[in-house]
Amino acid sequence: MRLSKLFTKTSKSAPADEVSKNAQLLIRAGFVYKIMAGVYAYNPLGLKVLNKITQIIREEMDGLGCQELIMTGLQKKETWMTTGRWDDDKVDIWFKSKLKDDTEVGFGWSHEEPIIEMVKQYLSSYKDFPINVYQFQTKFRNETRAKSGIIRGREFLMKDMYSCNGSAQENQAFYDETIEAYNRIYKRLGIGDDTYVTFASGGDFTKFSHEFQTICDAGEDYIYVDRQKNIAVNEEVLDDENLAKLGINRDELEKLRSVEVGNIFNFGTQKSEDMDFTFTDANNKKQLVYLSSYGIGVTRVMGVIAEKFADDKGLVWPESVAPAKVYLVPIGSEAVTARADDIYNELTSKGIEVLYDDRDMRPGQKFADCELMGIPYRLTISDRMLDSGDYELVSRKDGNQSLLTHDQLLAKLG
């Protein structure tokens, strides 16, 4: 894309009321726009990042054999009455409104109950199981404070997946498979090295649930990491009994700030009992369905990536989620522009995404924008390079600079 056509502009400052680093940078780079605290619109470059994260998650969910669907924002009171979670004393983040006939409706802060109510209409025999469904859905949560930018929104995008199994063993096996899929997702998103499967308290049915926590200074949580064993526990389960059970030594734990980027939960049959979700087994006996739920905050993950890798010059996107791989800057004569046009067309035709800074602007300003936007490679073409035939490529991550021939450039970016 040519930057002369992009409607957003970068800016030197963020809104005065924006206190979070991720939102400050994303706003300054033109990726997001603040509607109100905790509510952000995604401009073209921000939407590109979000779509790449979404697609990585989708591929891994599809790989598990999950089926994508899309529920609704509007939800029925009756659905949530079955588990008592319509009550504002139990769930204090509801946005509610009313139909014209005074019927109360809620705006989905979660889809657990609605999605279970939906799938159970289709499933009745043991032959129907297992099934796993997921969606990318906007959630509305009436948070009292929303000061973490897109890491904790009043409106945000979430991937929520639900597994329905006929037995505890199958339920557990799929739960374990999903942990592996989640690990692959965080690795592909570039935060794998700093994301830990973290033991959290498990509620009534199961001893532990699992969180995925990414080490990040902006985190609202603390986790206790055993780097050697590659696992962590959260504060809730930090007691001698649990540590013993997990084979962890308290002295080897490191206390670190973190953000929860995923959460998986084994409901066992508790939720099915509340919602009367049963099936007929091979012996014609009625059985409760085993359920688990698996969430990833998509916009939150984007915020964590933004916040975690940023430096004093701006954002630093991993290649897998960057809005483009290359930021192309021509400096100099018309011959340089012609060469830049050619390489832009050539890279684009090979499917390599390029932000072409064809704006009438000083090179220093373009370099600064490239750094603020966090594009992995800056490709510079100047008069000097026209003679040598070389291309200058600078890596955003480490600042490494190289002079490459045309073939070397294509090999590097291809």
Q: How buried is residue 204: exposed, middle or buried, by Cβ count under 10 Å (0-12/13-18/19+)?
A: exposed
Single residue of 19, 41, 81, 335 touching a copy of itself by CB under 8 A: 41
Nearer to a copy of itself by C-beta: 100 or 286?
100
CA-atom Rg of the chain in angstroms:
24
Nearer to a copy of itself by C-beta: 157 or 216?
157
> Binding to a copy of itself by residue 355, rule CB under 8 A?
no
Q: Point out which span in 18-26, 65-73, 322-330, 402-410 binds a copy of itself (CB under 8 A).
A: 65-73
The residue type of 354 is V
**DSSP letter string, 81-106:** HTTTTTSTTT-TT-EEEE-TT--EEE
- Report the distance separating Cα 279 and Cα 282, nearest Å: 10
Residues whose CB falls within 8 Å of the CB of residue 413, separated by 6 or more in sequence, listed in order = 325, 326, 347, 352, 377
Nearer to a copy of itself by C-beta: 178 or 195?
178
Nearer to a copy of itself by C-beta: 277 or 391?
277
Q: Residue 338: count other Cβ atoms within 10 Å of its Cβ.
A: 12
Q: Closest by alpha carbon to 379, among 407, 344, 414?
A: 344
The three-class DSSP label of residue 143 is coil
Q: Closest by alpha carbon to 322, among 268, 357, 275, 371?
A: 371
- Report the distance separating Cα 303 and Cα 32, nearest Å: 11
The three-class DSSP label of residue 220 is coil
Check if the beta carbon of residue 32 is closer than 8 Å to that of residue 46. yes
> Binding to a copy of itself by residue 58, rule CB under 8 A?
no
Nearer to a copy of itself by C-beta: 94 or 199?
94
For the CB of residue 101, give the shortest distance to a copy of itself in the complex, in Å: 8
- Report the distance separating Cα 392 and Cα 321, nearest Å: 23
> Binding to a copy of itself by residue 54, rule CB under 8 A?
no
Positions 307 through 336 that interact with a copy of itself (CB under 8 A) = none
> Binding to a copy of itself by residue 39, rule CB under 8 A?
yes
Strand-pair partners of 104: 98
Q: Point out which span in 94-102, 218-226, 242-250, 259-267 binds a copy of itself (CB under 8 A).
A: 94-102
- Report the distance separating Cα 143 and Cα 93, nearest Å: 6
> Binding to a copy of itself by residue 404, rule CB under 8 A?
no
Check if the beta carbon of residue 278 is closer than 8 Å to that of residue 272. yes
> Binding to a copy of itself by residue 43, rule CB under 8 A?
yes
For the CB of residue 123, give the shortest distance to a copy of itself in the complex, in Å: 7
Single residue of 20, 22, 24, 75 touching a copy of itself by CB under 8 A: 75
> Binding to a copy of itself by residue 83, rule CB under 8 A?
no
Q: Tokens 């952000």 identify what position?
A: 40
Check if the beta carbon of residue 83 is closer than 8 Å to that of residue 75. no
Nearer to a copy of itself by C-beta: 71 or 386?
71
For the CB of residue 53, give the shortest distance to a copy of itself in the complex, in Å: 13
Nearer to a copy of itself by C-beta: 88 or 193?
88
Q: Point out which span in 27-35, 167-175, 349-357, 375-383 binds a copy of itself (CB under 8 A).
A: 27-35
Q: Point out which span in 29-37, 198-206, 215-223, 258-266 binds a copy of itself (CB under 8 A).
A: 29-37
Check if the beta carbon of residue 327 is closer than 8 Å to that of residue 374. no
> Distances from the Cα of 6 to the Cαs of 23, 189, 206, in angstroms?
20, 26, 51
**Count of residues near a copy of itself by CB under 8 A:** 52
Positions 110 through 149 that interact with a copy of itself (CB under 8 A) = 114, 118-119, 121-123, 128, 131, 133, 138, 140, 142-144
For the CB of residue 395, give the shortest distance to a copy of itself in the complex, in Å: 28
> What does residue 268 show for φ and ψ, rounded to 5 degrees?
60, -130
For the CB of residue 161, give the shortest distance to a copy of itself in the complex, in Å: 13
Single residue of 42, 208, 224, 344 touching a copy of itself by CB under 8 A: 42
Residues making contact with a copy of itself (CB under 8 A)? 5-9, 30, 33, 35-36, 39-44, 46-47, 50, 65, 67-76, 95-97, 99-100, 105, 107, 114, 118-119, 121-123, 128, 131, 133, 138, 140, 142-144, 154-155
